[in-house]
Structure 1
Amino acid sequence: MALRVIEIVTPREDKEEVAKSLESQRPDEGYVFWATPLDDGESLSFRIVLQVQESEDVLDKLEQLFAWTEKYRIVVYPAEATLPRLDDLSRKEEKDKAAFPEEKTKAHNRISREELYADVLDTTLLSSNYVMLVIFASLVAVIGLMRDNVAIIIGAMVLAPLLGPNVGLSLATTLADSKLSLEALKTLTVGVLLCFVIAAGAGMAFGLEQMNGELAARSVTEYSDIILAIVSGAAGIISFTLGVPTSLVGVMVALSLLPPLTASGLFLGAGLYQEAGGAALLFLTNVICLNLAGVVTFLVQGILPLSWWDKERAKSAIFRSAAIWTVLLAALVALMLFRNRP
């Protein structure tokens, strides 16, 4: 399992209090720590090395213990290895042999809430880089669909940054974070509109002489697409919570958010309104399933706010969000039944 370093910068006069608190928690969490004076002569840096699955519990306890203000600062960063090793197997064996093992919060097999938030925020913020990636991915998707070239379409899927805002929206729901939710919605809306306008413009300018296989595949929605979108969405959320960005490439290809959106714009621009509606239905199905799977997966992974009042707000937001996405999915299924009726 990966390692993390938690660095705490504190005033020098708080050294004894911080050291005592860290020492009291060390037997339960199994970390090592040490203190280093900083150049300003007024501050100390405490560094803690621990397993990544223990980091969230430690960060939560630190926040509760020290009630973070401007005089404290905490930074989390990865570590490749440490010697001597953190011998978790020996600690587990000792606890199993104990006559009265102490109760301990179950370790999360994922990165901490704070680290996850930072990773998701990076992919959720609206920026010039995001806009350029959407433009480039949309142009690549248009070319791939019009040329019926699978390899080019896969390249567009990998380039497209539309997965990030959807994950940000799911995380915002589970954390009851309205600011992140608004940012995710804004970023997703800009990306969707930009891609659709580019594709519609290409459809109007060049038309569609004939229906090829790749375009036809995006003009209909099968029931298997719902299962694929839910499974791929859950896999994408797990990839985020494990801090494994390389896994997201496969998720982007499997979930396929950009091609149906691009196909819908191409069809609309070319005057093929029924096909445009079918491609739009597929895109909406993917988005709804991704967000529904995201909220449920974050909840299963134990992603919740720290304070009890925020947890109560989050539970209410999760229930409302899950209900909304479920109703929308049911409406899409009903629309699919209507469209497929002979």
Structure 2
Amino acid sequence: MRLVQLTVPTGKRETILETLDEREIDYVVTDETGSRAYTAVVYFPLPDAAVEPVLDEIQAAGVDEDAYTVVVDAETVISRRFQALREEYEEGDVGSDRISRQELQAEADDLTPSFPVYVVMTVISAVVATAGLLLDSPAVVVGSMVIAPLIGPALGASVGTVIDDEELFIESITYQILGVVVAIGAAAVFAVLVRSMNIVPPDLVLSSVGEISERLAPDLLSLAIALGAGVAGVVSIATGTSVALVGVMIAAALIPPAGVAGITLAWGQPTAAIGATVLVLVNLLSVNLAGLLTLWYAGYRPENLFSIGETEQRLRRRIVGLMVIVLVFAVFLGGITYASYEAGNFEQDARDEVETVLTQEQYESYELLEYQVVMDDNYPFRNPEQVVVTIGGPPGESAPELADILHERINSHADQSVSVEIRYVEILRR
């Protein structure tokens, strides 16, 4: 619930009070002596869902933005008329639980820090994320998400579009683009320093680090994460609930992939940065797309009713544009997902072949000790490069033909030639 404090311009007192009386809204009026432009201040409580329509009605009655308005949280209101007002406006859905358009715009502005603070916090979060990725520490990576100032710009563009605030939209888009560039650049510079100072092993293989490898070849599940973060972020800001945790979710979709992109550039592997960079872009676009759809569904419209048609056209163009770009990236991620699926099938089929061969009578004295498929470094579409099979058997015995048999049968499941390495281990049993 909200408490609205409305300054009454000279000559508008009766108009405002009549509007409140027609709505059966409780109010208190105090005379204003500090300014000739205002004659009084009206205080009246409203349910969250009633703030926007009541303020719009007051404005439609001829009270423009010169009537200074403050909307604050109200902890408790004890009034039968207020309860009736709540029953009239609240319907138990997102549309009725949302905050007013005026509050939404102010919230979006507040969530975006000043330019210097935004850049500094983005650099810090990218550096912390890079350190956590190189350390393979999920806790440090999560910590970098907490300090990332990304939720304001990520949601501000959607808010600016649906309420026809082009200044907010342009500012948010600028911040988002700058944030991605700064994050990747800061991560790359920090990774270069770390590598040149030998803080990490000079021969570190990026694919061997779990927190990095999972973002070098992202799949379609990453798209679901970004869409969920966008919807959750908009719902949280639109209903006036805490956005802190949702901000972490949005940062989770952007900061770690940006850190991985910077690390791969520092390691001189630009092709490996493709997957992480695509992940950053598709996540960023998905958050914006989800935000636009959710805000429009929640019922937010421009203040000027005559601009609704123009805003709807602009909204459709942006939604269609975002959907097309996201779809293109989704196809790319789908290709990575399919490649991973095929690699998984090959690994299982090749293992089955090895086990089937070893069950034959002439090889019954041998057993499979270890099985490993080595993938190539052609990110993000990785393919099997080598199969290493460790076989245990009696001392002094070996089966040279086994390598040829396994090579032939394993490669029957591969799209391209895969080398097969057989390792014999003598097993002594007493």
State the TM-score, normalizing by the size of structure 2.
Answer: 0.70
Equivalent residue runs for 1:171-320 within 5 Å: 171-207=159-195, 209-211=204-206, 212-245=209-242, 247-250=243-246, 252-253=248-249, 255-320=252-317
Q: CA 1:270–1:15 in structure 2 vs 1: closer, same or farther (change >3 Å)?
A: same
Contact 1:125 1:187 survives alignment (8 Å): no
Which deviates more, 32-41 or 313-322? 32-41
**Identical columns (%):** 25
Contact 2:47 2:86 survives alignment (8 Å): no
Contact 2:218 2:275 survives alignment (8 Å): yes
Q: Offset at 1:56?
A: 1.0
Q: CA 1:16–1:191 in structure 2 vs 1: closer, same or farther (change >3 Å)?
A: same
> Does the residue aligned with 1:32 lie in a helix, a strand or coil?
coil
Equivalent residue runs for 1:70-81 within 5 Å: 70=66, 72-81=67-76
Q: Offset at 1:12?
A: 5.2
Equivalent residue runs for 1:116-127 within 5 Å: 116-124=104-112, 126-127=114-115
Structure 2 residue aligned with 1:48: 44
Which of 308, 320, 324 is the matching residue for 1:327? Answer: 324
Identify unmatched segments of 5+ residues in structure 2.
89-93, 340-382, 384-430
Q: CA 1:136–1:323 in structure 2 vs 1: closer, same or farther (change >3 Å)?
A: same
Contact 1:169 1:291 survives alignment (8 Å): yes
Q: CA 1:13–1:312 in structure 2 vs 1: closer, same or farther (change >3 Å)?
A: closer
Equivalent residue runs for 1:11-22 within 5 Å: 11=9, 13-22=11-20
Residues 216-251 of structure 1, C-alpha deviations (whole Å, 9 max, x = no match): 111122111112211221011100101112x44145
> Does the residue aligned with 2:8 lie in a helix, a strand or coil?
strand
Contact 1:162 1:258 survives alignment (8 Å): no
Cα distance in 2 between the residues matched to 1:313 and 1:124: 26
Q: Does 1:60 align with 2:48?
A: no
Cα distance in 1 between the residues matched to 2:193 and 2:57: 60
Which of 1, 4, 7 is the matching residue for 2:2? Answer: 4
State the TM-score, normalizing by the size of structure 1.
Answer: 0.87
Residues 97-154 of structure 1, C-alpha deviations (whole Å, 9 max, x = no match): xxxxxxxxx9721110110110111223543222221122112111111111111110
Which deviates more, 272-281 or 202-211? 202-211
Cα distance in 1 between the residues matched to 2:30 and 2:304: 31
Which deviates more, 248-257 or 141-150? 248-257
Q: Offset at 1:47?
A: 0.8
Which of 130, 137, 142 is the matching residue for 2:118? Answer: 130
Pairwise CA RMSD of aligned residues? 2.3
Cα distance in 2 between the residues matched to 1:329 and 1:177: 24
Which deviates more, 134-143 or 328-337? 328-337
> Does the residue aligned with 1:320 lie in a helix, a strand or coil?
helix
Which of 160, 164, 169 is the matching residue for 2:152? Answer: 164
Cα distance in 1 between the residues matched to 2:133 and 2:224: 24
Q: CA 1:265–1:235 in structure 2 vs 1: closer, same or farther (change >3 Å)?
A: same
Cα distance in 2 between the residues matched to 1:107 and 1:197: 40
Q: CA 1:221–1:275 in structure 2 vs 1: closer, same or farther (change >3 Å)?
A: same
Which is richer in helix? 1
Q: Larger RCO: Structure 1 or Structure 2 (Cα < 8 Å, ≥ 6 residues apart)?
A: 1
Cα distance in 2 between the residues matched to 1:331 and 1:107: 32
Q: CA 1:338–1:69 in structure 2 vs 1: closer, same or farther (change >3 Å)?
A: closer
Contact 1:125 1:183 survives alignment (8 Å): no
Which deviates more, 332-341 or 319-328? 332-341
Identify unmatched segments of 5+ residues in structure 1.
96-105
Q: CA 1:331–1:319 in structure 2 vs 1: closer, same or farther (change >3 Å)?
A: same
Structure 1 residue aligned with 2:369: none
Q: Offset at 1:89?
A: 6.1
Q: Which has the larger radius of gyration?
A: 2
Q: Offset at 1:38?
A: 2.2
State the AA in 1 paired with 2:50.
Answer: E
Cα distance in 2 between the residues matched to 1:336 and 1:231: 17
